Structure formats: C-alpha cells, structure tokens
Chain A
C-alpha cells in the first residue's frame, strides 16, 4: 500500500517508473546480445562483430534496422491470431516478474518513499514464481500457432522441461524462505545486511569480515536454484526446446524479424529475473559486502558533508551500482555457461530434473528445517 501514492501525481510517477524499468530491460537486451556475441567469439578464439563502430557496438543499431526491414510473414498453415499474440505475450511475464525485485535502497524524502523497483509485492517470491510459470503459455501458443510440427514438438519439449524444473526451483526456494521466514524480497535483503552472524545450538558464530549473505547458509540451495533457472529460461545446457539438430529452432522455427526479437526480449528478461533473484536470495541484494545501508549513509554524510537528502540520493545510487555489478556478474555466468557446456540429451535432462535435483532440493529443505529446529531447541 505504501508504494502507490495518494495523490494523482504520485500515482503517475509510479506508473511512469514501471514503464522506465521495462524500457531499461528492453534496452539491456541489445547490449546483452552484443556481449553474448563478443563473449562467445572471445571464448571460441574468434573476433565477433568488430567492424561497425567502436568494438562493433553500432552493430546493434544495424541489427535493429535489419529487423525492421524484414517482411512480415505468417505461414499459411498457421493460426494468425496466436502467431501474432505469442511474441507480444512473451515479453510480459519476465518484465512483470523483474519489476518486483528491489534494485536499491528506497529513496526516502520528507513525505514519500520512492522505491527503486517497479512495485513492491508483499509476497514477492510467490508472485514471481506464479508469473514466470505463465511463460509456458507463450511457448505453447507460438508452437501451435505456427502450424508446424517442429514448432509443436519444440513447444511440447520446452513446456515439459519448464514444468519439470519448476519443482526443483520451488523446493530450492523453500530453503530460502525457511532461512529468512518471509516472502518479501525487501525483508530478505534487510536480513542479509551486516556481517556474518550465525546463531544456533546455543552458540553465536560471527565473522566480521564476511557479509551475512544467504550463500553461506544455503550453498546447495543456491546451486540448485541457479541450475533450475537455466532450465526455466531455456538456455544451454538446457535448450532442448531448440535442439537444432532435431527440431530446427524449436517453437520459433517459423518466426523472423521483429517477432523473433520479441522472443529474444522475453528470454533475456527471464535471464534477468533469474540473476536478480540469485542476487536477492543469496548475495545480499543491493547491499555492499558487510556494510549495512545505514553505515554507508552515515559514511557519505561524514565524508562529503552533504545534506541528508543528497546523501539519500547518493546512497541509492551507490547501492544501485552494487546491485548492478552483482547482477551483471550473473548475466555473464549465463552467457559463459552457454558457450562452454554441451547440450544434454532429453532423457538426461528429465533424469537430472526429477531424479537428481528434486531429491537434493527436498533433502536441502528438510536439512535446513531440521537444523533450524534442532538449533533453536537444543544446545551442544
């Protein structure tokens, strides 16, 4: 309730903010594509796009122009309505889910708290899980709307894969929820600020030089979560949906031009959600190593001797940079993994999801619950 202001201007600011976050995400996609192409070239000892402009950066604009000049094509056998709807809907789940992730310390003025995120949802995790599970529809719509059997098989495989890994994903998150005792992402980040401080079994283990990040409490959970998000966003090594050897290009076989680009935006949005959640759950969100936002705020006040409001602004900017660095690191891991690992076979993929990751995630949540339970009831 605090996010939506009471007056019309505040409501307008909030709505404009959501559009800005969405446009930021759309803007990040060409940069990520460039990074992916340059990075893959780097990994494979090639040059990549390096002719157009400095470091080939203007290549992005050339690509956009190329996409615009493509003919608008619908296969005759396909269903026109679904064929057009699918790419538009593909952009929605990722973008909506990403907006619930806090990107920086809320900017507090005298009368109003300005959140550096699209909107705050009380049950952030449940919302994000629910929204991103809707991504299966766009894939099925694209696969069926194309009228091609390759698309349909790709869509079928993709949706079976997505739902299989959603179980491991949900169970990995159970450990996280047990740890923080809340669904709210902002509260999770708050409980991760400061230095490492483990309480249980009647002991308190503290390390002043380490941050209080979730990765130290949930290493297995973090690994399982990250692996499952790869499968959720259909990236290599889990891109069975578009195994080109057998399925040409999966559910977007018949797509081209701008409609194809929209699927790209959707895929990268899923990557961004995964990276953002990874940072939020296990790497302290926007927090800077083991300094809490209040400490950083007072440091800014003392060092630059500025007014509290300016310090608030600087604080938000610094924490946003911190978030962006962690976020970019995970995006790079996504790209790096794509170009270094081979693809799974389909039975291996299903075995990994159902027989390896699901039991391990289950074991992780039981272990976490048992440690919390025993640790608060007994002393060593």
Chain B
C-alpha cells in the first residue's frame, strides 16, 4: 500500500468512526465532540484532494465556529427536559422510522450508482501537479466574477440570519422560559 492510500484509509477510518460515534454516544457532549472530530477528518480528506483552501475553511468555519457553538450550548444547558422530549413519543418514533428509511434509500442509491458509473482512476501525480494558487484563483473567479449575484445575495442572507438571531435572543418562551 502506498503512503497516499494508507493516509486515505486512515482518515476515512477516523472520519467514519467519529461519525458513527456521533449517533451512538449516549452523552450529547461526546456526540458533539465526535462531530467536531468528523469535521476535522473531512478537512484532512480535503487536503489529500489538494483542496487546501477548502480544508482551511472547513476547519475555521465548521470545526472552529459552528461546533464550538454546539458544544457551548450543550455544556451549559441541562438537557434533561429535551432528552425526555426527544426520546419518547409518537412523533419521535415517526421521525426515527423516516430517518431509517432515508438512510436505507441513500445506501441503496449509492450502491446502484456506484455499480453503474465506471470508476475513473486519476493518477495521483496528475492531481499532485495542480498548483494550489490556481484552485484558489478559480474559486475567486467563480465567486466574485461569474456568480457575483449569488455572492451578494449570500451577503444579504447572512444579514437576515443575523437579524433573526438577534430577534430570537430577545424572545421569551420554550423549555427554558424565564419564570
């Protein structure tokens, strides 16, 4: 086995194991930490595909920002009410069955697609030869020149989310309403 293949299998193993532990762990904090580990593993897999900038973004935004918020929220809330509400009940059962169905559909789809599409093997040296600056440049070209409208709309969307977050933080209610 070559070093690249070993690296890929190692990273795939780490990512899949941490992804599985997200759903198998009983303690939600361990789940959130495993999800962070999954994000880091995905970032490392991006690096093996020479998507250096994307890997960095994955680390900064997902592992460094989104999951920190998750872990923070989980650690500070006593989640007993929520765990009770989400593990029992008819609605939760329906959601469980639905998600099992979706998962099995995904697996069947992936297997049939994988059997149909011929696997294109690219020599790793070709991938390695592609310089990094160009991928970042292509990304910039796509974002700021070709799809500039979408980019600006994204800015507006982020603004809307920010306004919504502020509005939510001022509302009262839910399981942790102030009494």
CB–CB under 8 A between A and B in the complex? yes
Please tell me if the beta carbons of A141 and B64 are within 8 angstroms of each other in the complex.
no
The answer to whether B56 touches A144 (Cβ under 8 A) is no
A-contact 0/1 string along B31-58, CB 8 Å cutoff? 0010010001001000000001101111
Q: Would you give the shortest CB distance from B67 to chain A, in whole angstroms?
A: 8
A1 touches B59 (CB 8 A): no
Residues of A close to B57: CB separation below 8 A? 126, 130
Is the CB–CB distance between A126 and B68 below 8 Å?
Answer: no
Q: Are A134 and B75 in touch, CB under 8 angstroms?
A: no
The reply to whether B136 and A156 contact each other, CB–CB distance below 8 Å, is no
Residues of B within 8 A of A122 (CB): 52, 132
Q: Does B154 contact A (CB under 8 A)?
A: no
Q: Are A130 and B75 in contact (CB under 8 A)?
A: no
Total A residues in contact with B, Cβ cutoff 8 Å: 27
Q: Tell whether A143 pairs with B56 under 8 Å between CB atoms, given A130-B43, A133-B64.
A: no
Would A1 and B33 be within 8 Å (CB), given that A130-B56, A183-B53 are in contact?
no
| Contact for A159 among B33, B59, B68, CB less than 8 A | B68
Is B68's CB under 8 angstroms from A137's CB? yes
Nearest Cβ on chain A to B38's Cβ, whole angstroms? 13
A106 to B128, CA, bound (A): 22
A370 within 8 A of B: no
- Is A123 an interface position by the 8 A CB rule? yes
- CB nearest neighbor in B for A121: B52
Interface residue ranges of A141-155 to B (CB < 8 Å): 141, 143-144, 152, 155
B11 sits at the interface (CB 8 A):
no
Give the shortest distance, in Å, between A99 (CB) and chain B (any CB).
Answer: 15
Question: Please, which residue of chain A has its CB at the minimum distance from the CB of B51?
Answer: A123
- Within A60-95, the residues touching B (CB, 8 Å) are 82
Tell me the complex Cα distance, A123–B55, Å: 10
Name, among B29, B55, B56, B133, the residue most crowded by chain A CB atoms within 10 Å (CB to CB). B56
Contact with B along A300-339 (1 / 0, CB 8 A): 0000000000000000000000000000000000000000
Residues of B in contact, count (CB < 8 Å): 25
- Shortest distance between the CB of A247 and any CB in chain B (Å): 15
Chain B residues positioned under 8 Å from A140 (CB to CB): 68, 71-72, 75
Whether A133 pairs with B53 at a CB distance below 8 angstroms is no
State whether A130 touches B60 (Cβ < 8 A).
yes
Q: Once bound together, how far apart are the Cα atoms of A210 and B9, in whole Å?
A: 51
Q: With A123-B132, A159-B68 given, is the CB distance from A152 to B75 under 8 Å?
A: yes
Which residues in A have their C-beta under 8 angstroms from that of B36?
Answer: 137
Contact B68 A136 (CB under 8 A): yes
Q: Are B60 and A144 in contact (CB under 8 A)?
A: no
CB-nearest residue of chain A to B40: A134
Q: What is the CA–CA distance of A195 and B54 in the complex, to the nearest angstrom?
A: 35
Contact B59 A131 (CB under 8 A): yes
A82: B residues at CB distance < 8 A:
29
Asked, given contacts A126-B52, A182-B133, whether A134 binds B59 with beta carbons under 8 Å apart, the answer is: yes
User: Complex formed: what's the CA distance from A156 to B52 in Å?
Assistant: 31
Q: Report if B98 contacts A (CB, 8 A).
A: no
Query: Is B33 a contact of A129 with CB atoms below 8 Å?
Result: no
Q: In the complex, which residues of chain A have a beta carbon less than 8 angstroms from the beta carbon of B63? A: 130, 133-134
Q: Is A291 an interface residue (CB 8 A)?
A: no
Contacting pair B53 A156 (CB below 8 A): no
Q: Is the CB of B71 within 8 A of A123?
A: no
Asked if B65 lies at the interface with its beta carbon under 8 angstroms from chain A, I say yes
User: Lowest 8 CB-CB distances: which A-B pairs, in order?
Assistant: A133-B64, A130-B59, A126-B56, A122-B132, A123-B52, A144-B75, A130-B60, A136-B68
Give A residues with C-beta under 8 Å from B: 1, 82, 121-123, 126-127, 129-131, 133-134, 136-137, 140-141, 143-144, 152, 155-156, 159, 163, 166, 170, 182-183
**Contact sample, A vs B, 17 pairs, CB 8 Å cutoff:** A123-B53, A123-B56, A126-B53, A127-B56, A129-B56, A129-B64, A130-B43, A130-B60, A131-B59, A133-B64, A134-B40, A137-B33, A140-B68, A140-B71, A156-B76, A159-B68, A182-B133
